[in-house]
Chains A and B, each alone.
Chain A
Amino acid sequence: MTQLTYVYLAYSVAGVGLLSLSIWVITKSRSLIKRLKAIDQ
C-alpha cells in the first residue's frame, strides 16, 4: 500500500464511524417522534 492509501483509509474509517453514529441517532429520533405523535393523537 502507498502512504496515501493509509491516509485515505484512516479518513474513511473515521468518516464511517461518525456517519454510523449519525444514522443511528437520526433513525432513533425519527422513530421516537413518530411514537410520541401517535400517542398524542
Chain B
Amino acid sequence: MLDFLRTPSKIMVWSEIWQTRILLAGIILTSIGLWLSLVTSPADYVQGETVRIMYIHVPASWGAMMTYFAMAIMSLYAFIKQNPLAHTITRSMAPVGFVLSLISLSTGAIWGKPTWGDWWVWDARLTSMLILCLLYASYIVTTTFIKPEQQALKIASLLAIIGSINLPIIKWSVTWWHTLHQPASIMRLAKPALHWQMMTPLFVMAFGLAFLCFYLFLRILQNHLREQKLIATIIRLSS
C-alpha cells in the first residue's frame, strides 16, 4: 500500500500533474467560503459579528491537529522502516502545520479579546494548542539545525511520535478541565450544536483551507526532493 514511499520520482510526477487542480479547488472553495462566512452567514445572538472568526479559527485548528496526527503516523513508519522518503514527507508537513497552529492561536486571541475581555488566558485548550505550536517549532528547528541529518531526523521523529500525546489533550481539554474555551460543538457524540447556516461556511472553509494547505505541502515536498537531487548531483560531479 505504501509502495509510493520508495519512489520519489513518482511522487514528483504525480504532484506536478495534480498541484494546479488542487490549488484551483482550494482557491474556489476558499472564495465561496469567505463569501458565506463574511456576507451570507448570520451573526450570533450572543457573540454578534465576532462569531465569523470561527470560520477561520476552527478550520485552522482542525488543520493543525490533523497535520500533526499525519506527521506522527508518518514518523512512526519512517522510524520503524528507516524510510528516507517518509522522513521527507513528514518534514514537508511541518511548516504547513506550524503556520496553521499560528493562525489558530492568533485568530483565537483576536476572538478572545471581545468575547472574554483578554487576548490570552492560561486556559487548558489554549495552553495545549500553544504546546502544539512549540512542538512544530521544535521539529522544524531540529530538522534544520541539528547535524548530521540522519541523527536530526531520528530525534525529530521521536519528537513527533511522543508529541502526539498532546492531540487528545487538546481535543478533550474542554471536557477534562473547567475552561473558558467553549466545549466541542461539532466533533462530539451528540448532534452538532451548530445551525446549518453556520455549519455550511465552516465546512466549505475547512475544505478550502485543506486544499490550499495540501498544495503548499506538495510544493514544499517538491522543494525537498529537488534539494536532495541537487546535493546528489553535486556529489556525483565532484567525485
| A contacts, CB < 8 Å to B | 1, 3-4, 6-7, 9-11, 13-14, 17-18, 20-22, 24-26, 28-29, 32-33, 35-36, 39-40
Classify the secondary structure of A's interface with B.
helix
Assess whether B56 is interfacial by the CB under 8 Å rule: yes
A40–B223 CA distance with the chains assembled, in angstroms: 17
User: With A13-B106, A21-B95, A22-B216 in contact, do A7 and B223 touch (Cβ < 8 Å)?
Assistant: no
The 3 closest A-B pairs by CB, nearest first: A3-B49, A32-B226, A10-B107
**How far is B99's CA from A40's CA once the two chains are assembled, in angstroms?**
34
Nearest Cβ on chain B to A36's Cβ, whole angstroms? 6
A36 contacts B230, C-beta separation under 8 Å:
yes
- Please, how many angstroms separate the alpha-carbon atoms of A6 and B48 in the complex? 11
Contact residues of B: prevailing secondary structure: helix
Are A39's CB and B53's CB within 8 A?
A: no
Q: Inside 8 A of A33's CB, which chain B residues have their CB?
A: 226
Contact A39 B237 (CB under 8 A): yes
CB pair A21 B216 closer than 8 Å: yes
B window 220-239: CB within 8 A of A: 220, 222-223, 226-227, 229-230, 233-234, 237
Q: Are A10 and B233 in contact (CB under 8 A)?
A: no
Query: B151: CB under 8 A from chain A?
Result: no
Taking CB atoms and an 8 Å cut-off, the chain B residues in 81-112 that contact chain A are 95-96, 99, 102-103, 106-107, 110-111
Taking a contact as CB atoms closer than 8 A, the residue among A6, A11, A25, A39 that contacts B230 in the complex is A39
Q: Residue A35 contacts which of B53, B219, B230 (CB distance < 8 angstroms)?
A: B230
B42 at the interface (CB under 8 A from A): no
B111 — which chain A residues lie within 8 A by C-beta?
A: 6, 10
Complex CA gap A10/B230 in Å reads 40
- The verdict on B38 contacting chain A, using a C-beta distance below 8 Å, is yes
Is the Cβ of A36 less than 8 Å from the Cβ of B103? no
Say yes or no: A7-B53 contact (C-beta < 8 A), given A14-B103, A25-B216, A33-B226. Answer: yes
Residues of chain B with a CB closer than 8 A to A24's CB: 95
Establish whether residues B50 and A6, one from each chain, have CB atoms under 8 Å apart when the complex forms.
Answer: yes
Contact (A4, B53) CB under 8 Å given A21-B95, A21-B96, A35-B230: no
Contact check, B96 vs A36: say whether CB atoms are below 8 A apart: no
